[in-house]
Amino acid sequence: MKIKSIRFFSPNDNQVSQSKKKKAVSLKGYVSSTGRLVFPKKTTLQLGWGADQTRFKIGTQVGKRQLEALYLVPAEETQTEAFSVEKKTNISTIKLESMLQKGGLDYRTKKWLFHIVPFQYEAGVTAYVLELEPVQ
């Protein structure tokens, strides 16, 4: 047997590359058939919503007839135009049935998911966009 060229490894070749990207965390939730935004416990933990985050101002883009996205902005306990978060064992919910119906979202017969994207609303305030999409 003839020995061909051999490439030998070095200890540096065995190092784990730091440039490998971590998998992007997907923040998701869904709209229940009773008209509630449902946030799984895993999602609320990743967003850092603790016991202190219990109210949000909720809105949508001006001029849109059909809901495509909802915007959640953290609110103080004293703000009367804010929606309450109901926390249960494994989920947190926000009741929006009338608003969703007026926005043309047929949540009773169709399942809707949303992807949550954090963004800077004002100085030091992180708000969230919920991008709605129907399940096929």
pLDDT tens figures, 40-90: 999 998 988 877 678 899 998 887 778 899 999 998 888 888 999 999 889
State yes or no: pLDDT of 24 exceeds 60: no
State yes or no: pLDDT of 36 exceeds 90: yes
State yes or no: pLDDT of 115 exceeds 90: yes
CA distance 25 to 114: 14
State yes or no: pLDDT of 31 exceeds 90: yes
- For the sheet containing 83-84, what is the strand order? 83-84, 55-59, 69-74, 125-134, 112-122, 28-31, 36-40, 91-95, 86-87
- What's the Cα-to-Cα distance from 99 to each of 6, 12, 65, 84, 132, rounded to whole Å? 69, 59, 12, 14, 14
Q: State residue 17's pLDDT score.
A: 62
pLDDT tens digits, one per residue of 43-55: 998 988 877 678 8
Decide which of 125 and 30 is more confident.
30
User: DSSP assignment, residue 62?
Assistant: T
User: DSSP assignment, residue 54?
Assistant: -
Q: State residue 130's pLDDT score.
A: 95
